Amino acid sequence: MLRYTLRRLLGAIPTVLLVIVLAFIMVRAAPGGPFDAERALSPDVEANIARYYNLDESLPRQFFRYLGGVLQGDLGPSYRYRDTTVSELIADHLPVSMMIGGMAMLLAIIVGVALGIMAALNRTAITDRVVMGFAMLGISVPVFVLAPVFMLFLSVKLQWLPAGWSSTPGPSKYVLPVISLALPQIAYIARLSRASLIDVLSSDFIRTARAQGLSQGSIVRYHALKPAMLPVLSYMGPAIAVILTGSVVIEEIFGIPGVGQFFVRGALNRDYTLVLGIVIFYAVLIVLLNLIVDLLYGLIDPRIRARR
């Protein structure tokens, strides 16, 4: 297992490097620069600022200088938030993003698995049709549509929940962002759980358990649930990536002071280092989370451990 983990970590290095290269090229290819809005500056002052941030160098030299800093754990200074490094901005606002994403993922797993089991055990019944209809709706409607709709009806029309973040104390401000972010993943996990459990319930060892007189609840709880959750576990890696990237939209809609909101502001302000730093952080985080999911998959399924 240790050899497999090290091999996966070493294999992730080219992926992260490719992400850095592509992000650097796309950010620099966008029109404008980080100091274009400051029109009052004289050409001499602009030249001094460019020299201070090494923006007067060639792009290859800037890239290798930046890459050298990243390898040392330095994501560089922010061009728009003076006297603040990108690492400090991420560290200060990451807890909010992780709180939103973590609660959304937990809600998606609990509700999605429960709905999937309910639909599988009541196959072809009205419960199955309702759950699958809800799942299709959750998959079809994107997050940037769900969030404003929830805000309009639950906050503006009914006034049940707060629409904003900064002026709202207490845990109620988490409800709409978490539900909006979790709902599509609930739909995916519910469909995946249903299909997997139906497939497992038709296996030979389940028929043997029924022949021994075990109840349906005991069969599901002790024999079918664990193998049925393997596809759900393997989906958690991409799901976490979707939730992390989806939180960028959610944080902007609800005004949440997380990493995603600073990513949007950095893109609008051409804050090169801020955008690059957040992209690199997300890339490394997603690679590590996928590795953790793979390791958990091996712990649950002994056949995977044997192959490794």
97: Cβ contacts below 8 Å, ≥ 6 apart: 244, 247, 251, 256, 258, 259, 260
Closest CA to 181 of 104, 252, 97, 113: 104
Homologous superfamily in CATH for domain 90-258: MetI-like (1.10.3720.10)
Q: Please give the residue that has the higher pLDDT: either 149 or 40.
A: 149
3-state secondary structure 120-132: HHCCCCHHHHHHH
Residue 148 CB neighbours (<10 A): 13
Candidate from 73-82, 115-124, 178-187 with smallest mean pLDDT: 73-82
- The mean pLDDT of 71-96, rounded to a whole number, is 84
Residue 248 pLDDT level (bands cut at 50, 70, 90):
confident
* Tokens linked to 253: 């809609």
* Tokens linked to 268: 């609008």
Is residue 278 within 8 Å of 269, Cβ to Cβ? no
Is residue 272 within 8 Å of 27, Cβ to Cβ? yes
pLDDT in tens, 182-206: 888 898 999 999 989 888 888 888 8
Q: How many helices (H) and strands (E) does the chain have?
A: 14, 0
SS3 assignment, position 35? coil
Q: What are the DSSP calls for 132-143, one per residue?
A: HHHHHHHHHS-H
SS3 assignment, position 173? helix
| Chain position carrying tokens 């490394």 | 284
**All structural domains of the chain with their residue ranges:** 90-258
Closest CA to 238 of 192, 195, 276: 192
pLDDT in tens, 7-49: 777 777 888 888 888 888 888 777 766 666 555 566 666 677 7
Angstrom distance (rounded) from CA 50 to CA 73: 23
Is residue 239 within 8 Å of 105, Cβ to Cβ? yes
Residue 111 pLDDT level (bands cut at 50, 70, 90):
very high
**Helix, strand, coil percent content, the chain, rounded in steps of 5:** 80, 0, 20
pTM for this prediction? 0.78
Torsion of CA 32, 46, 87, 257, to 10 degrees: -60
Closest CA to 116 of 186, 206, 202: 186
